[in-house]
């Protein structure tokens, strides 16, 4: 095989894997949008908050320590030196479930029957509030997150592919981050679990019923409130997984919350209401972005196309299919 | 009692269709204009100018622009920051190419250029609606900011990527640059805001404004009764972008003086706050644009005053509290009064009509 072809394959592979990361965030959006009709802008901040909380539990930080210290002149730092990863993840999950409950109680309950745009703005408010609370609780410094997922280049793949190039060519093998491979595996497990859960359990059926038709679901005795809390908790859980992945890759910091913006083109490409759409959209955007950076980016001499390329890609796509790849067909009546 | 309209008879269509049909409104508005034009310029100092009044005027203009598009025509846009950047960079480029041109003309031309860009990014609105459109306008935001950040021609190949305004005179008094006196920059913005505000108010009351509202309320029905969606939506994008472009030009030339595009026109610093302004102020209300801008501009100052000066927090912690309170206020506001401050004002008017005698 020629070096160009191998490079192309490497780019596509890397694109697919970063696409999985986008899909993870988009999945949380889709779940909430389907079940409660809320376009949850706070999904990215959820991921940030989950990652911050996880690091906080791991290292035994006292919540709000720096605020208390500053206001009262005390000197609190840590409760304990470290906590097993497993326990910390479970505690974070419980926190995210509690958060879902609080959000339903304090925000969603009062905004039933409002315009979608009002609900959307409320989630932007939620994003700000949660970001502030996260910073106040755990501090805004960049933190290292390590839950034992291996990262770094895969040596095995590099050695396995180095022989594929033609003899005598200057090829060093493919570079793929092990972390991304793990992310892919975990995402696949997550999606399969979700699919099984919604297909074969009673709660899962209730979930699908609500997504299908709120009023019909209510009339057969499904509690909308329970389902909403559940859905927000599930997306909180997905946000935690995304937060762990992104946090391990680039450290836990404010920019983590901006991955929500990365997931938006994925959503419009795949359709707001489709879980397979979120996944395939994520993969398409991931591959498109990486290919564009390498094959088109050269012509601009400026680089950093990835800030907007996904959006333009989604936009062009929208012109042909306004509801996205797998979204519900838009039917309009007067 | 205070706000009683009984006894005010209209004897012609002209007086019936006036912008302020009630004598109380006329008096209130004239007093406001009197204070704004003849009192504030004499007492203004640099702190009031830089911290409150000029940002308030500029953001009011941006809020009017977004309100035309989102509040009156129903097209949600998250690209305000990008369009303001177009206004700012057009001003900068025109300033460097035509050193002798009047600043007022430069700013209006920048508005027109932004209107053109707005039409371009408004094209998808013909096919897509709602959240899909909102996300599509984000494309404008990211693309435009990237463009001004990465293509050196726009910032004249300067090393820092910053653009800096040069001094321009208006009637012999500098209105841009470091040496501009507070009253000059304030009056310059005020004149533009009052003129463009009246223009917007009248546009909304005319045929074009009514067709925007028809499209907003139900686009298919509007199309059937003969409102052309193409012309209507694109005109809303054009006029809205014109206002936002002028606001961006003022933001750069008069208010900040030197900007770096990724910081000054970020989605978090411009696009969302301006959207908050029109939602808090009231979607589809001119008064709401001003009230919302006033609220959003003064809120951080008030919070900072309370937390840093009174409680004695460090600036970083205060910033985090500010973000939290901002978010919470936003949610509380949407729960308590989703129609915004303008609605509160009309409730207050209703109360004032009878007060202090309930019957």
Which value does ipTM take for this structure? Answer: 0.80
CB pairs under 8 A between A and B: 141
Task: Calculate mean pLDDT across residues B156-183.
Answer: 77
What would the pLDDT profile of B221-276 be if each residue is shown by its tens digit?
Answer: 888 898 888 889 999 999 999 999 999 999 988 888 888 877 788 877 888 888 88
Q: Are the CB atoms for B145 and B117 separated by under 8 Å?
A: no
| Residue in A closest to B329 by C-alpha | A125
Option in A122, A131, A267 nearest B323 (CB): A131
* β B173-174/B163-164 pair status: unpaired
A167 pLDDT above the threshold of 80: no
| Residue in B closest to A126 by C-alpha | B327
Q: Are the CB atoms for B189 and B44 separated by under 8 Å?
A: no
Q: What is the pLDDT of residue A270?
A: 82
Q: Are the CB atoms for B237 and B122 separated by under 8 Å?
A: yes
A52 pLDDT above the threshold of 90: no
What would the pLDDT profile of A298-325 be if each residue is shown by its tens digit?
Answer: 666 556 666 677 877 777 777 777 777 7
Between CA A67 and CA A78 the distance in angstroms is 14
B114 pLDDT above the threshold of 90: yes
What would the pLDDT profile of A250-272 be if each residue is shown by its tens digit?
Answer: 777 777 777 777 788 888 888 77
Domain boundaries, chain B: 34-263
What would the pLDDT profile of B48-82 be if each residue is shown by its tens digit?
Answer: 878 888 899 999 999 999 999 988 988 888 889 99
Q: At which residue do the structure tokens 């209510």 appear?
A: A218
Chain B 267-326, residues with CB within 8 Å of chain A CB atoms: 267, 272, 275-276, 279, 311, 313-314, 316-317, 320-326
Dig out the tokens for B29 from the structure: 């508005």
For B237, residues 6+ apart whose C-beta sits below 8 A from its C-beta are: B69, B75, B118, B119, B121, B122, B125
Average pLDDT of chain B? Answer: 84
Domain boundaries, chain A: 3-259
> Phi and psi for B258 in degrees, rounded to 5?
-140, 130
Q: At which residue do the structure tokens 């409102």 appear?
A: B227
Element (H, E) at A227: helix A224-250
Option in B145, B150, B335 nearest A302 (CB): B150
User: ω into residue B356 within 30 of 0, thus cis?
Assistant: yes
Q: What is the pLDDT of residue B68?
A: 92
What would the pLDDT profile of A101-131 be if each residue is shown by its tens digit?
Answer: 998 888 888 887 777 777 888 888 898 888 8
Chain A 256-285, residues with CB within 8 Å of chain B CB atoms: 261, 264-265, 267-268, 272
pTM of the entire structure? 0.85
Task: For chain B, give the number of residues.
Answer: 359
Element (H, E) at B164: strand B163-164
Element (H, E) at B173: strand B173-174
Contact B267 A272 (CB under 8 A): no
Dig out the tokens for B328 from the structure: 């919470």
What is the sign, positive or negative, of the torsion defined by CA atoms of A284, A287, A292, A293? positive
DSSP-derived secondary structure letter, A143: B
For B96, residues 6+ apart whose C-beta sits below 8 A from its C-beta are: B156
Q: Are the CB atoms for B268 and B142 separated by under 8 Å?
A: no
A68 to chain B: which residues are within 8 Å by CB?
none
Task: Calculate mean pLDDT across residues B5-11.
Answer: 78
């Amino acid at each position: 095989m020629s070096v160009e072809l191998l490079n192309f394959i490497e780019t596509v592979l890397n694109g697919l894997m970063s696409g999985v990361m986008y899909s993870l965030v988009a999945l949380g959006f889709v779940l909430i949008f389907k079940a409660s009709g809320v376009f949850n802008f706070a999904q990215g901040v959820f991921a940030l908050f989950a990652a911050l909380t996880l690091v906080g539990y791991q290292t035994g930080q006292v919540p709000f320590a720096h605020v208390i210290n500053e206001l009262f002149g005390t000197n609190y730092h840590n409760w304990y030196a470290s906590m097993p990863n497993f326990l910390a993840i479970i505690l974070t999950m419980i926190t995210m479930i509690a958060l879902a409950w609080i959000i339903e109680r304090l925000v969603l309950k009062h905004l039933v029957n409002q315009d979608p745009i009002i609900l959307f703005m409320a989630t932007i408010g939620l994003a700000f509030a949660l970001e502030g609370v996260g910073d106040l609780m755990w501090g805004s410094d960049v933190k290292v997150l390590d839950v034992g997922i291996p990262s770094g280049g895969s040596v095995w793949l590099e050695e396995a592919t180095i022989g594929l190039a033609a003899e005598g060519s200057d090829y060093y093998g493919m570079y793929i981050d092990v972390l991304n491979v793990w992310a892919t595996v975990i995402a696949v497990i997550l999606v399969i679990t979700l699919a099984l859960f919604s297909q074969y359990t009673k709660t899962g059926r209730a979930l699908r019923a609500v997504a299908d038709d709120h009023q019909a679901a209510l009339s057969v005795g499904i509690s909308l409130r329970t389902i909403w809390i559940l859905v927000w908790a599930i997306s909180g859980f997905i946000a935690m997984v995304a937060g762990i992945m992104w946090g391990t890759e680039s450290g836990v910091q404010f920019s983590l919350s901006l991955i929500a913006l990365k997931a938006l083109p994925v959503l419009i490409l795949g359709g707001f209401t489709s879980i397979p759409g979120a996944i395939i959209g994520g993969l398409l955007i991931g591959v498109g972005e990486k290919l564009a950076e390498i094959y088109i980016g050269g012509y601009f001499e400026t680089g950093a196309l990835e800030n907007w390329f996904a959006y333009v890609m989604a936009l062009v796509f929208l012109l042909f299919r306004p509801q996205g790849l797998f979204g519900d067909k838009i039917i309009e009546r007067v | 009692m205070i706000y009683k309209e009984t006894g005010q008879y209209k004897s012609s269509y002209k007086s019936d269709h006036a912008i302020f049909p009630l004598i109380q409104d006329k008096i209130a508005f004239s007093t406001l204009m009197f204070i704004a034009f003849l009192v504030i310029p004499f007492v203004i100092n640099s702190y009031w100018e830089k911290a409150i009044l000029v940002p308030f005027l500029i953001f009011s203009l941006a809020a009017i622009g977004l309100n035309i598009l989102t509040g009156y025509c129903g097209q949600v846009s998250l690209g305000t920051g990008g369009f303001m950047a177009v206004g700012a960079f057009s001003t900068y480029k025109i300033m460097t190419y035509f050193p002798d041109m009047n600043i007022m003309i430069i700013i209006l031309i920048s508005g027109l250029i932004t209107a053109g860009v707005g039409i371009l990014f408004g094209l998808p609105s013909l096919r897509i609606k709602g959240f899909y459109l909102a996300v599509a306008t984000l494309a404008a935001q990211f693309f435009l900011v990237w463009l001004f950040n990465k293509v050196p021609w726009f910032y004249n190949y300067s090393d820092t990527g910053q653009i800096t305004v040069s001094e321009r005179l208006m009637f012999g008094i500098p209105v841009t640059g470091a040496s501009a006196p507070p009253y000059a920059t304030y009056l310059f913005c005020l004149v533009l805001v009052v003129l463009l505000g009246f223009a917007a108010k009248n546009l909304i009351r005319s045929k074009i404004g009514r067709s925007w509202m028809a499209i907003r309320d139900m686009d298919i029905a509007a199309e059937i009764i003969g409102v052309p969606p193409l012309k209507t939506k694109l005109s809303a994008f054009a006029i809205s972008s014109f206002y936002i472009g002028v606001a961006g030009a003022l933001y750069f030339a008069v208010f900040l003086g030197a900007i770096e595009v990724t910081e000054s026109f970020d989605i978090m610093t411009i696009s969302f706050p301006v959207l908050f302004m029109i939602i808090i102020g009231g979607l589809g209300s001119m008064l709401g644009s001003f009230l919302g801008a006033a609220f959003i501009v003064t809120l951080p100052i008030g919070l900072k005053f309370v937390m840093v000066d009174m409680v004695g927090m460090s600036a970083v912690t205060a910033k985090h509290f500010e973000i939290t309170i901002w978010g919470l206020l936003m949610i509380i506001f949407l729960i308590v009064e989703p129609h915004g401050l303008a609605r509160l004002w009309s409730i207050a008017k209703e109360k004032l009509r009878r007060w202090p005698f309930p019957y």
